[in-house]
Amino acid sequence: MGRRSVALSAWLHPAVIAPAVLSLAAGFAQFVATASLADVASTFGVSGVGSSRPDLTGTALGVGLAVIRAGSLAALPLTSRADRSGRRRLALFCTTLGLALTAAAALAPTFWWFVLILALARPLLTATNAIAVVVAAEVTRTKERSRAVSLVGAAYGVGAGLTVLLRSAAGDRLSFRGLFVVVALPILAVALVSRRLEEPQAFRSLSAETRSAHRLFGPVAAEYRMHLIILCVLTASAAFVSGPITTFVFYFAETFRGLKPSVMAFAVLAAAPIGLAGLVAGRWAADNLGRRVSCAVSQAVIAAAAVVTYNVPGMGVVIGYLAAIFAASVYTPGSGAISAELFPTSYRSSAAGWITAAGVVGAVLGLGLFGFLADSLGDYGVASICIAAPVMLLSLLYLRLPETSGKELPGVMPGVGQVPPLL
């Protein structure tokens, strides 16, 4: 008996929940290195105050993390491949192999083997998340699309949060090697949801000639390239300013603001419900105010939050951090929806690959430049203004894009082949 065909579904249909589960697994695996960073540094001997194992410097640790992050650039050819071979098969392949490689990092004999293994796993998991967003967008009606994208984004966040909760609950009883072994368990979840993961009708309607025309790095037709360039610039700029907030903020809060670690722990816990509220608000804004306005305003707020974080004394660092989390969550539904709706099915996954790569480049550049400016100027506040000001101006570029709210994707008709929602 053949697989059931799904054309357009409600956002809580299993055809949407399945890619969300894959994104959850990717978030769990990608955040495990961050959650266990202190243990990783201790195991491989990072030098520091009172350290008796100076064989690995803090600079080496930073370089290693940058290499792992930069590995996401290899997700571009993987994501582009989904426009040729299909979303379903590639998503399952990337998720399974990415989880397996991440779990294998538990066996790393040295720090640089650890970095190499995770750098190989990173693009697979990044591609998983990008393809999951594409699938969620392609199997839903226009009125449900921003909700579906929000669900995938929330699932990724839940996966990352589960890593932190597991690490916190286990404490010293679970070393970083044990935590990495746990990453293999979501492979079972992938196997369970694989039967629910549908190949979108929009892709299945493409001719064999159209699919085979795609090359390794997913070229996009000339008439769509300006839209793609604008989206890449905007995505890179959003990551450019959000990186310093999420990476430097904890060090800055304790070292320069004198906040206790317990205060920042509270901020991390508060970020979960605030992020969820942001996704709900972002879904409403994307559907009622339009994708462009929702993205432009939320991106500008992210930049403003960075300024608040590093310039307002006292609890300003916490307020700015949580405001950035909320704004970034508002940004997610609209940006995911417009990125899918601006491109035809034959180029949609390739465009997602380029946009994802742009985000990686933006994040790496933002982290490097912010640290350099903070050291050179001797002032984190001024450095944050230098980073945030151009991002605020660039947010206006969203107004150069056509509004896509209410646009159905090509290749399917509303209501045709529609199946009942799960809830």
Domain count for the chain, please give it. 2
Do 105 and 28 share a structural domain? yes
Q: What pLDDT shows up at residue 51?
A: 42
pLDDT in tens, the chain (423 residues): 334 444 455 666 888 899 999 999 999 998 887 667 667 767 776 544 344 444 555 456 667 777 887 888 888 888 888 888 888 999 999 999 999 999 999 998 888 898 899 999 999 999 999 999 988 888 888 888 888 888 898 888 888 778 767 776 776 677 888 889 999 999 998 999 988 888 888 887 776 655 555 555 557 778 889 999 999 999 999 999 987 777 677 667 877 888 876 777 677 778 878 988 998 999 999 999 999 999 999 999 999 999 999 999 988 999 999 999 999 999 999 998 898 899 888 888 888 888 988 998 898 888 778 878 887 888 889 999 999 999 999 999 999 999 998 877 654 434 433 333 322
pLDDT in the model for residue 67: 81
Whether residue 202 is found in the same domain as residue 266: no
Indicate whether 366 belongs to any domain. yes
| Domain match, 140 and 194 both | yes
Residues 105, 62 share a domain: yes
Q: Do 293 and 391 belong together in one domain?
A: yes
Distance of CA 384 to the CA centre of its chain: 22
**What CATH number should be reported for the domain holding residue 304?**
1.20.1250.20
In a domain, 421, yes or no: no
The answer to whether position 422 is within a domain reads no
- Residue 187 gets the label, from left (phi > 0), alpha (psi -120 to 50) or beta, of alpha
Span 134-148, pLDDT tens digits: 888 888 888 888 888
User: Is 416 a domain residue?
Assistant: no
Per-residue confidence (pLDDT) for residue 394, from 0 to 100: 96
Q: Please, what is the Cα angle at 363 between 26 and 231, to 5 degrees?
A: 90
pLDDT at 413: 38
End-to-end CA distance of the chain: 26
Q: Are residues 170 and 279 in the same domain?
A: no
Is 1 inside any structural domain?
Answer: no
8 A C-beta contact, residue 401 and residue 228: no
- The pLDDT assigned to 422 comes to 28
Q: What burial class does residue 421 get, using C-beta atoms within 10 Å of its C-beta: 0-12 exposed, 13-18 middle, 19+ buried?
A: middle
Is-contact 95 190, C-beta < 8 A?
yes
Q: Is residue 423 part of a domain?
A: no
Residues 177 and 196 occupy one common structural domain: yes
Cβ atoms of residues 60 and 44 within 8 Å: no
The number of angstroms, rounded, from the C-alpha of 278 to the middle of its chain's C-alpha atoms is 15
Claim to verify: residue 171 and residue 240 sit in the same structural domain: no
If asked whether residues 226 and 276 sit together in one domain, one would say yes
Q: Does residue 379 sit within a domain?
A: yes
Taking the C-alpha atoms of residue 69 and residue 33, their distance in angstroms, rounded to an integer, is 11
Task: Quickly count: other Cβ atoms within 10 Å of residue 344's Cβ.
Answer: 17
Q: Is 334 found in the same domain as 215?
A: no
How does 85-104 read in b/e, with b if 16+ C-beta sit within 10 Å? Answer: ebbbebbbbbbbbbbebbbb
Q: What is the pLDDT of residues 223-258, one digit of tens each?
A: 889 999 999 999 999 999 987 777 677 667 877 888
> Residue 104: its pLDDT value, please?
94
Claim to verify: residue 284 and residue 381 sit in the same structural domain: yes
- Supply the range of the domain harboring residue 253: 221-401
Q: Can you give the pLDDT at residue 11? A: 64
What percent of the chain shows pLDDT beyond 70? Answer: 82
The answer on 180 and 234 residing in a single domain is no
Both tokens of 83, joined, read 């426009």
